[in-house]
Homo-oligomer: A and B are copies of this chain.
Amino acid sequence: MAEAPEEILSDTGVDNDTEAVSQRYKLLIAYDGSAFHGWQKQEPPDAPVLRTVQGVMHDALLRLFKQPINLVGASRTDSGVHAKGQVAHFEAVSRVPVERMAMAINSRLPEDIEVRQAEAVSPGFDSIRCAVTKQYTYTIHNIDERPLGLRHLVYHYRHTLDADLMNGAAQRLVGEHDFEGFSAAGHGRESTIRTIHRCEVKRDGGQVVITVEGNGFLWNMVRIIAGTLLEVGRGRFEPEHIDEILRTAERQLAGPTLPPHGLCLEWIKHEWTDQEERA
């Protein structure tokens, strides 16, 4: 191998050994959340390490790139929550061409998780800060028959729901509101103001699917929205009750937090410039 004398590097300002350049990458990640304790890597002292999405991804990236990796995910999905479109970023000095990177990572991942796309991005990309819109779905299996093989992917609720009534009520959530009443305590966010761009409830055969798009979500927000719309659909809440929860911001006025396994992070849209942001 030819050596690169120091003066050449300093002369041109370019490292000809491109393998040595650190590059930022954006990953699109899908997973079945059933066997994961959520996204976030947990390293409790003197406790068994829990299997998390970030932890399993981090292990695979370490084995592939053999260097310290800091993987930052856009959404810290809870235990049991699924994703078709989680987005994360990391930086690495990679010998793997970007078009083969997804496959290279996947060959080091178990069957319940997959990188669907890997992309080289400018340092201005940050999976959390550049996220502008996210879409979640919550799926209710709304027939008497048990979901059996799908039981980890849907929430089974037997009493027939009026999806049209739920959809009407859902429109009251659209817009910029204080969603404090639709969030779990201890969310630790400074502001509880969020904008919901779209909230739709549709029946598809035996399933009632709630789709929510917004610029951000508080802790458990989609699951509480789903639980509140369920109360509308079964006739316990009037649609107008939604306005009351928004007005008072009282969590106890809203419906229950539905279980995590009906929830899926569908996609996240990002906007960024080629310039690195310097805070």
Contacts and interface: CB of A to CB of B under 8 A. Distances in A.
A31 to B, nearest CB: 6
A116 interface: yes
A190 interface: no
A208 interface: no
A43 interface: no
Interface stretch (A5-13, A148-156, A220-228, A244-252): A148-156
A34 B149 contact: yes
Nearest to A116: B145
A34 B111 CA distance: 15
Nearest to A83: B148
Nearest to A148: B32
User: What is the count of identical protomers in the complex?
Assistant: 2
Contacts of A145: 30, 114, 116
Interface in A132-154: 145-146, 148-153
Contacts of A34: 149
A153 B151 CA distance: 12
Nearest to A154: B149
A113 interface: yes
Interface in A93-122: 106, 111-114, 116
A89 interface: no
Contact of A114 (B31, B148, B150): B148
Contacts of A32: 148-149, 151
A114 B149 contact: no
A112 B165 CA distance: 32
A117 to B, nearest CB: 11
Contacts of A106: 146
Contact of A112 (B111, B114, B151): B151
A82 interface: yes
Contact of A82 (B30, B116, B149, B153): B149
Contact of A111 (B82, B151, B153): B151
A149 B152 contact: yes
A137 to B, nearest CB: 13
A239 B111 CA distance: 33
A151 B149 CA distance: 10
A77 to B, nearest CB: 14
A116 B152 CA distance: 20
6 contacts: A30-B148, A32-B149, A113-B148, A114-B145, A149-B150, A149-B153
Interface of A: 30-32, 34, 82, 106, 111-114, 116, 145-146, 148-153
Q: 5 tightest A-B contacts by CB?
A: A32-B149, A32-B148, A114-B146, A149-B153, A111-B151
